[in-house]
């Protein structure tokens, strides 16, 4: 194995993980990786000034609404520590752009890029 590997966390109630090639259902391991990802997120957001220290829990985790319903692709180092992540929250096509977290992002509210972000996301929602 190289210096990096990936770990895919499926939402616990997705039922989709059983269709993967070699799924493992281990609640303890799931929560271990989810907590590590939330600590990484918390440390980065805090360093960037996106959140305040009081927004972290006692273990330094930053919880976001939808974490337990989202897919997470984690980048792990050789010690299997989480060093990167991407979160994917599946929505039906009926959700409106304004209800998505991306609609509140800095880029989505930028005078130059905001309309392009909205158009791209709405186009993607129509294709669902």
Which residue segments constitute the domains of the chain, with CATH numbers given?
5-88 (3.40.630.30), 97-126 (no CATH)
pLDDT per residue over 108-126, tens digit each?
Answer: 999 999 999 999 998 988 8
Whether 89 and 56 have beta carbons less than 8 Å apart is answered as no
Residue 44 in this model has a pLDDT that exceeds 90: yes
Q: Supply the pLDDT for residue 128.
A: 66
Residue 23 in this model has a pLDDT that exceeds 70: no
- HSE-up of 59 (CA within 13 Å, CB side)? 11
Q: Supply the pLDDT for residue 3.
A: 87
* Other residues' Cβ atoms within 10 Å of the Cβ of residue 126: 8
pLDDT per residue over 49-77, tens digit each?
Answer: 999 999 999 999 999 988 999 999 999 99
* Cβ neighbourhood burial of 52 (10 Å; 0-12, 13-18, 19+): exposed
Whether 67 and 34 have beta carbons less than 8 Å apart is answered as yes
Residue 38 in this model has a pLDDT that exceeds 90: yes
Q: What percent of the chain has pLDDT over 90?
A: 59
Read off the DSSP letter of residue 72. E
Q: Which two tokens stand for residue 95?
A: 């959700």
* Residues 70, 91: Cα–Cα separation, whole Å: 10
């Amino acid at each position: 194995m190289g210096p990096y590997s990936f770990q895919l966390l499926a939402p616990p109630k997705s039922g989709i993980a059983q269709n993967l090639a070699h799924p493992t259902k281990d609640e303890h391991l799931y929560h271990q990786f989810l907590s590590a990802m939330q600590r990484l997120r918390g440390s980065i957001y805090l360093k960037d000034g996106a959140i305040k220290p009081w927004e972290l829990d006692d273990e330094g985790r930053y919880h976001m609404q939808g974490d337990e319903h989202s897919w997470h692709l984690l980048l792990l180092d050789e010690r299997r520590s989480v060093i990167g992540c991407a979160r994917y929250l599946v929505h039906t096509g009926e959700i409106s752009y304004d209800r998505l977290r991306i609609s509140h992002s800095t880029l989505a509210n930028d005078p130059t890029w905001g309309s392009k972000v909205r158009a791209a996301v709405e186009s993607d929602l129509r294709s669902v």
